[in-house]
Amino acid sequence: MSEVRIPPVLRTATSGAKLVEAGGSTVREVLDSVVTEFPALGPTILDGAGGLNTFVNVFLNGTDIRHLDGLDSVVGARDSLVLLPAMAGGSGLRSTFQPGPIHSSHSNAT
């Protein structure tokens, strides 16, 4: 079985578990196994067509699966997956940055 690391933002769906074991020979099968055990994760990590939600990153042994074979990436019994949803937002404070004019050292004159 493979290890799947669950980030803090998703742990409410796994009853607080930081690490879960899941079977499968591909990333897709491992994620399906995790979602079967923890159904609340399904809508968060998978889209309606069974693909990966665009805002969720999955790393297989430290490599983003988008640089491998995506959900069809082969997973070994001792491999590790990390689920990492993209985070957005900020402090809510307004920036004091005021953009100025853009100057170019190149002339567009012909």
Write down the domain spans for the chain: 2-85
Read off the pLDDT of each residue in 55-79 and give the average, rounded to a whole number.
Answer: 94
CA distances from 2 to 24, 30, 38, 97, 106 (A): 8, 8, 16, 47, 55
CATH homologous superfamily, domain 2-85: Beta-grasp domain (3.10.20.30)
pLDDT of amino acid 99: 45
Name the residue type at position 78.
R
Asked if pLDDT for residue 104 goes beyond 50, the answer is no
Pick from 71, 77, 83: nearest CA to 38: 83
- The overall pTM is greater than 0.85: no
Residue 78, CB-side half-sphere exposure with 13 Å CA sphere: 0
For residue 26, what are the β-bridge partners? 74
17-51 pLDDT, tens digit each: 999 999 999 999 999 999 999 999 999 899 888 88
Of the ranges 50-54, 75-79, 83-87, the best mean pLDDT one = 75-79
Q: Are 85 and 57 in contact (CB under 8 A)?
A: yes
Within 8 A by CB and 6+ apart from 58, the residues are 27, 31, 52, 64, 65, 81, 82, 83, 84
H or E stretch covering 34: helix 27-37
